[in-house]
Structure 1
């Protein structure tokens, strides 16, 4: 079955039925996102050998554009997911990539800083992250966040002095303090996510320690720009702002 046929099956069903509550009640379109996962569309860009669709940015943009006509909230969630997966697919482990391919794992971006603290400290094989991320799509709904921080030590600071981590949503002391209406479409669960602090294994690092700015510039931002253009909404992370990680 082609990805377009799979998408047709869920657009008129679960995605459409979740669109109205998202617009009118601000309800996260969980049933639509779940259906997209089961149809293989969350794993659209994951390698085929791990069960993914093996597709690229053009196909992801097509999916986002078509979903946006039915449920803007779900399209916003997909934009953040696909942009995060671009990094995970390049640098993440096989287990999480297979979970994404199976439609059981939703990723989101947590890049924009809220406040001065975005520290990372490594002790042995454990890294402690501290900070507040604003404009996070699917806050409290995603399974993991692509999280930016300062380098944890020993990285090439000349690459921007930032690092990227895949932080599981169930990590202790990672929380959403409020579900205030964010800048994203109603129902997209755009809010702040806090690490106060959060401890992750050193293996959660994606790419090089200190190399996060390059990854955002080369992977995340091109995906976000193309996916936003597909829906006629130009955006940085979610609302017209470049990620703080790449701001000058």
Structure 2
């Protein structure tokens, strides 16, 4: 089955059904995201040998643009997820990529500082992350976050990226007003106060975060945001 056929089926079902509660009530479109995962669309850009679709940015943009016509909240979630997966495809471990390919893992970006710069301190094989990130899509709903921090020992101008599991102790979403994302996208602040992760959670080399954000994350976010802006309403919607 092609990804477009799979997408068409969930668009007129779970994604469409979740679009109205997201817009009107601010409810996270969990059923739609789950359906996208089961249809192989969360893993669209993961390598085929891990069970993914093996597709690239053009196909991801096609999916995001079509979803945006039905449920802007789900489209915002996909934008952040696909941009994060682009980094994981280069530097992520096999397990998390296979989970994404199987539709069981949603990733998001935690890059925008809310206050002082996030810091990382390493002691042996454990890294302590402390900071606050704002404008995080799917905050409290994603399974993991790409978290940026000042690189341990790398100077103030060098950043590192870490894959932080959402269930990590002392990682939380404070009770506060939602962020600027579409209604229902769960865009909010995420706090690490602090969070401890293994040193193996580092994505790429230490201090390489700036390059990864510039060369990987931003191009994906820019293209996916552009196609969302160009999306008009879906001409025919029949829920099933």
Aligned to 1:195: 192
Aligned to 1:42: 42
Contact 2:138 2:187 in 1 (8 A): yes
Aligned to 1:227: 224
Which whole-Å deviations, capped at 9, do the CAs of 1:172-195 have from their partners, x for residues lacking one?
Answer: 000000252210000000000000
Moved runs in structure 1, 4+ residues, more than 3 A? none
Aligned to 2:7: 7
Contact 2:19 2:72 in 1 (8 A): yes
3-state SS, counterpart of residue 103 of structure 1 = coil
Contact 1:166 1:204 in 2 (8 A): yes
Aligned to 1:129: 129
Q: Give the aligned length.
A: 230
Aligned to 2:139: 139
How far apart are residue 117 of structure 1 and its match?
3.8
* Cα root mean square deviation, aligned: 1.1
For residues 91-130 of structure 1, the aligned pairs below 5 Å read: 91-130=91-130
Contact 2:130 2:194 in 1 (8 A): yes
Asked if 1:218 is matched to 2:215, the reply is yes
Which whole-Å deviations, capped at 9, do the CAs of 1:12-61 have from their partners, x for residues lacking one?
Answer: 00000000000000000000000000000000000000000000000000
Aligned to 1:167: 164
TM, length-normalised to structure 2: 0.94
> Structure 1: how far apart are the matches of 2:50 and 2:198?
23
- When residues 140 and 179 of structure 1 are mapped into structure 2, their CA distance, relative to the original with a 3 A threshold, is farther
Contact 1:178 1:191 in 2 (8 A): no
Contact 2:117 2:150 in 1 (8 A): no
Which whole-Å deviations, capped at 9, do the CAs of 1:207-230 have from their partners, x for residues lacking one?
Answer: 011110000000000000000111
> Structure 1: how far apart are the matches of 2:132 and 2:215?
24
> Structure 1: how far apart are the matches of 2:16 and 2:22?
10
TM, length-normalised to structure 1: 0.91
> Structure 2: how far apart are the matches of 1:187 and 1:152?
36
Which sections of structure 2, spanning at least 5 residues, go unmatched?
A: 231-240
